[in-house]
């Protein structure tokens, strides 16, 4: 009888202390033959931090660390990795980690020489509490969660919003954190508070949430066009039907036809008010399923009870929508309209979206110009005029913002050079770069259209 050979090997290695570790293994054996080092205090602290990050990222309750399967996994990886108890992980370990994170966050924000952007927005949690979340963005675009405040008992008028904003700015200034911009929601109270705060807080730029502004432009399409509104409503009815567990027979048949047609499964997207691109994703997911939403379960002309053993029929309302050529025609058209809006929203909502990113701003401006051109050539002039007016307001803002960044960029380069740790008067390359940028700024203002503003700024630069 053939017997599988056993491989035995012996290796030796020298550690920093000079002691020799001999590892013997038969057919490689278990991992504990290779990983034998005890964890230092710093390693243990890092391990606990990673456990917390894993728990939060995966949405696990802390009691997962008490599961025997988890203990078995970590014991296999390294017998010295002992999982903490749930109470310890959710207690002192969590408290210490949050404290260390807050200290690091505060230090990072204080060291931002350019300044930070204060952003906040409200939402309602599962316990029906109205919370105000505050996130701070550094000049490099890195987000830091500052805090969340329960404002359930407070009135949400522009007066309360103004007071809350001033309190936040004061708190950050007292912590030696420089605030240069504030971004808020586009709801009525927030808009009114921004207009008033721009008068009293002139050193700070107050901006609305432009992802919300673009979403309002999408909503305007459905307000002004009855056909698109009806098409969207019908698309939502189809999506809701094929996601309702009460119709699991049709959901199963849909999946069977998907696999038969595409050799894969995909879910029809659900409409959500809090997802800016929800309308677009609902429409595209239904359009993908157009072929497989075949009328195989056509309801009878006369409504009768279903006999035992017969397949159920589609609801007549759903059948009429799916069999309507006009519906699919408008759905295709709606997707074509929503696509550039969706691209802008994806760009504005990305983690890397920053006002200092000129490529990002150029892409947003380009898409706004494309949408404006689309509506200018649209057959329904009444609808097009109303939508272009709203878009032009947004387009003008982004053009001015692009222009402002072009103006501020050389100033920023000079400041970064002068504020760097290596900046020295004896550094000829540094001085040449500063002089070059000053000359560029002077030339820019000499060619500027607003002569009064340009003359004042050139005079200051020449001094």
β-sheet with 116-124: strand ranges across:
143-150, 130-137, 116-124, 179-184, 205-208
Provide the 10 A C-beta neighbour count for residue 9. 10
Per domain, the residue ranges of the chain are 8-102, 116-208, 215-302+312-349, 396-462
Using CA atoms, how far apart are residues 278 and 272, in angstroms rounded to an integer? 6
Specify the CATH class of 116-208 in words.
alpha beta
Contacts of 383 (CB under 8 A, 6+ apart): 224, 225, 375
- Tell me what pLDDT residue 107 has: 92
Instruction: Give the tokens for residue 16.
Output: 């920093």
Model's pTM, two decimal places?
A: 0.60
Using CA atoms, how far apart are residues 86 and 145, in angstroms rounded to an integer? 25
- Tell me what pLDDT residue 33 has: 59
- Tell me what pLDDT residue 19 has: 43
Residue 192: name the closest of 167, 154, 163, 151 by CA. 163
Please answer whether residues 365 and 395 qualify as being in contact, where contact means their C-beta atoms are separated by less than 8 angstroms: yes
Residue 370: name the closest of 340, 348, 390 by CA. 340
The DSSP symbol for 204 reads S
- Tell me what pLDDT residue 69 has: 93
Helix (H, G, I), strand (E, B) or coil at 40: coil
- Tell me what pLDDT residue 147 has: 83
Q: For residue 439, what are the CA distances in angstroms to 125, 410, 429, 432, 458? A: 54, 10, 15, 11, 10
Residue 155: name the closest of 164, 146, 147 by CA. 164
Give the pLDDT means over successive 10-residue stretches in the chain (463 positions). Answer: 45 44 50 64 88 89 90 84 88 89 90 86 77 84 83 78 88 90 81 85 81 74 84 90 86 81 79 73 86 65 62 80 89 87 75 57 70 78 77 59 64 66 63 72 71 68 62
List the beta bridge partners of residue 143: 137
Instruction: Give the tokens for residue 369.
Output: 């110009």
Instruction: Give the tokens for residue 204.
Output: 């700070």
Using CA atoms, how far apart are residues 298 and 320, in angstroms rounded to an integer? 10
Residue 376: name the closest of 363, 389, 360 by CA. 389
Residue 191: name the closest of 214, 224, 213, 173 by CA. 213
Instruction: Give the tokens for residue 258.
Output: 């998907």
List the beta bridge partners of residue 11: 23
Residue 234: name the closest of 300, 342, 313, 331 by CA. 331
Using CA atoms, how far apart are residues 177 and 111, in angstroms rounded to an integer? 8
Residue 137: name the closest of 356, 343, 346, 345 by CA. 356
Using CA atoms, how far apart are residues 113 and 138, in angstroms rounded to an integer? 10
Please state the φ and ψ torsions of residue 251, each to the nearest 5 degrees. Answer: -65, -45
Please answer whether residues 134 and 120 qualify as being in contact, where contact means their C-beta atoms are separated by less than 8 angstroms: yes
- Tell me what pLDDT residue 31 has: 54
- Tell me what pLDDT residue 16 has: 43
Helices 325-349 and 278-288 pack at an angle, to 10 degrees, of 140
Q: What share of the chain is helix, strand, coil (3-state, %, to 5)?
A: 60, 10, 30
**43, 47, 53, 56: CA torsion to nearest 10:** -150
- Tell me what pLDDT residue 128 has: 79
């Amino acid at each position: 009888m053939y017997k599988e050979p056993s491989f035995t090997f012996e290796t030796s290695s020298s550690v920093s202390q000079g002691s020799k570790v001999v590892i013997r293994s038969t057919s490689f054996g278990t991992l504990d033959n290779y990983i034998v080092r005890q964890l230092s205090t710093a390693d243990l602290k890092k391990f606990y931090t990673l456990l917390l990050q894993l728990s939060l990222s995966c949405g696990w309750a802390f009691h997962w660390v008490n599961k025997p399967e988890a203990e078995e996994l970590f014991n296999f990886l390294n017998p010295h990795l002992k999982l903490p108890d749930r109470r310890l992980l959710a207690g002192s370990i969590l408290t210490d980690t949050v404290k260390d994170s807050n200290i690091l966050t505060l230090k990072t924000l204080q060291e931002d020489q350019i300044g930070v952007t204060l952003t906040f927005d409200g939402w309602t949690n599962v316990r029906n509490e109205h919370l105000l979340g505050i996130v701070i963005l550094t000049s490099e675009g890195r987000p830091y969660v500052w805090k969340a405040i329960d404002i359930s008992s407070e009135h949400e008028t522009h007066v309360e919003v103004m007071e809350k904003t001033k309190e936040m700015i004061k708190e950050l200034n007292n912590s030696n954190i420089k605030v240069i911009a504030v971004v808020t929601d586009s709801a009525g109270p927030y808009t009114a508070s921004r207009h008033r705060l721009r008068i009293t807080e002139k050193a700070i730029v107050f901006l609305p949430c432009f992802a919300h502004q673009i979403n309002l432009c999408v909503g305007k399409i459905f307000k002004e066009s009855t056909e698109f509104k009806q098409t969207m409503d019908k698309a939502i009815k189809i999506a809701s039907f094929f996601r309702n567990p009460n119709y699991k027979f049709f959901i199963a048949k849909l999946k069977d036809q998907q696999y038969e047609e595409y050799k894969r499964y995909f879910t029809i997207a659900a409409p959500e008010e809090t997802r800016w691109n929800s309308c677009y994703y609902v429409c595209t997911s239904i359009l993908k399923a157009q072929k497989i939403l075949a009328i195989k379960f056509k309801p009878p002309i006369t409504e009768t009870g279903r006999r035992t053993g017969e397949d159920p029929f589609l609801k007549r309302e759903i059948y009429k929508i799916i069999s309507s050529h006009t519906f699919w025609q408008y759905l295709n058209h709606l997707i074509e309209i929503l696509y550039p809006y969706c691209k802008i929203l994806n760009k504005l909502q990305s983690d890397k979206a920053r006002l200092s990113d000129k490529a990002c701003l150029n892409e947003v401006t380009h898409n706004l110009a494309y949408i404006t051109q689309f509506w200018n050539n649209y057959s329904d002039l009444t609808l097009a005029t109303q939508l272009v007016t709203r878009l032009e307001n947004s387009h003008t803002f982004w053009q001015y913002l692009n222009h402002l960044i072009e103006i501020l960029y050389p100033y920023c380069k000079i400041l970064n050079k002068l504020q760097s740790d290596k900046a020295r008067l004896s550094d000829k390359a540094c001085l040449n770069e500063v002089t070059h940028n000053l000359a560029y700024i002077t030339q820019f203002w000499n060619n500027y259209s607003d002569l009064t503003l340009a003359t004042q700024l050139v005079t200051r630069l020449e001094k």
